[in-house]
Amino acid sequence: MGVESNVADRELLARVRTQVDRWLDEYTSRLTGTPPRMIEAIRYSLLGGGKRLRPAIVIWAAEACGGTLAEALPVGAAVEMLHTYSLVHDDLPAMDDDDLRRGQPTCHVRYGEATAILVGDALLTMAFEVLGSVGRTGEIAAACVRALSRGAGPRFLIGGQFDDLAAENRLLTIEDLEEIHLRKTAQLFGTSAELGGWVGGGSAVQIEQLGAFGRRLGLAFQIQDDLLDVQGQENHLGKRAQKDQTRGKSTYPALVGIEASQQRCRELIEGAIGQLADWGPPADPLRRLAQGLMHRTH
Ligand code: GRG
C-alpha cells in the first residue's frame, strides 16, 4: 500500500471518528435526569479518544450493503458505548488493574471505583436503549439487539474475559489462546460488521460474510495487540506496554514467536478480505481498513 492511499485511509477513518464523536457528544449532553457528576465521568470515558474502529466497521458494512450513514451512525455509536464499557470495567483493579487508557488516567483512577462500575453499567445499558430504535423497522432493531447481546454476552465478550482472567499465570496452548482472543475481542468486530449488514438491509448471506470478515479482522487485531504490547511504546499506545508479561498472560508472540504471529495476522487479514471477494467497490473501505491494520502502531 503506497503512502498516498495510507493518507486517504487515515482521512477516511478520521471522518468516521469525527461523525461518531459528534453523535456521542450530542447524545451524552442530553442525558437529562442523570447525576451531573455521572455524566461527566461517562463523557470522560467515552469522548477521551479511541480509534472508533468498531463504528467504522458498522458504517462501512452498512454502506457496502446499500445503507446510509444516517441509519448506521447510531448503531456504530451503540457499539462504541458497549466497547467503552468493556474497557472501563477491564481497567478496574479486580480485572486488569490499569491506570492509563486512551492516554489519560483510567475512569476509576479519576472518579473512583464505584463510579467506574456505574459508568460501565450506564454505557452498557445506553447502548441497548439506542439500538432499540434503530433501522427502518422494529424487526431490524430487534435483530440488532439480539446480535449485540449475543456478541457481548457470556458466550463471547464476557465469557472470553472470564476465561482470559482465569488463564493468568497458566501456559495456554495456541488453540486455547486463539479461542479466548476470538471470544474476548474478535467477535465484537464480527458483530459490528453483522450489525452494519442488518441496518444496511443486507441479505442473510451478506450478513454471514460480514460476520466472518469481522471475526478474522478482530483476531488479527488482537494478535497485533499482543505484538504491540511486546514492541509498542506507551506514548503511542495510550496505555501501559509490557502489561501481558507482568500479569503472566500467554500471548501470541510468547507462544509462537514474533514472526509466526505476524504471519498469522497476514493470513487472517487475507482471509477477511477474501470474504468480500464478490462485493466489488462498495466494500473498498472495509478492505482498506483490513489492509491498513497490518501496519498499525496503536
Ligand atoms: C469487562 C466484559 C469485559 C470485557 C473486557 C475489551 C476487553 C474485554 C478487554 C480489553 C483488554 C484488551 C487490551 C484487549 C485487546 C483488544 C482490545 C479490545 C483493545 C482495545 O480496543 P481498541 O484498540 O481501543 O480499539 P480504542 O481505545 O481505540 O477504542
Please report the beta strands in 89-169, taking only residues with DSSP state E, as ranges in sequence order.
100-101, 104-105
Give residue 3's pLDDT band: very low, low, confident or very high (50, 70, 90): very low
- Which among 23, 243, 66 is positioned nearest to 15, based on CA atoms? 23
pLDDT category at 294 given cuts 50, 70, 90 is confident
User: Within 6 Å (CB) of ligand 1, which residues are found?
Assistant: 50-51, 53, 83, 86-87, 89-90, 102, 157-158, 161, 184-185, 222, 225
Grouping H, G, I as helix, E, B as strand and the rest as coil, residue 101 is strand
Q: Are 108 and 116 in contact (CB under 8 A)?
A: yes
Which ligand 1 atom lies nearest to the CA of residue 101? Answer: 27
Interval 242-293: pLDDT, tens: 666 666 788 999 999 999 999 999 999 999 999 999 999 999 999 999 999 8
In this structure, the dihedral spanned by the alpha carbons of residues 50, 55, 61 and 64, taken in order and rounded to 10 degrees, is: -90
Give the closest residue to 269 by CA, choosing from 217, 224, 210: 217
126 pLDDT higher than 90: yes
- Compute the C-alpha angle 84/89/91, nearest 5°: 95
All three cell numbers of 172, joined, read: 495456554
What residue type is 159 in one-letter code? Answer: G
Enter the DSSP assignment of 283.
Answer: G
Give residue 157 CA to ligand 1 midpoint distance, Å: 10
- Which residue's entry shows cell 442473510? 204
Strands (E), the chain: 100-101, 104-105
> How far out from the chain centre does Cα 106 lie?
18
Which pLDDT belongs to residue 167? 93
pLDDT tens digits along 70-120? 999 999 999 999 999 999 999 999 999 999 999 999 999 999 999 999 999
**Nearest Cα to Cα of residue 158 among 44, 240, 82:** 82
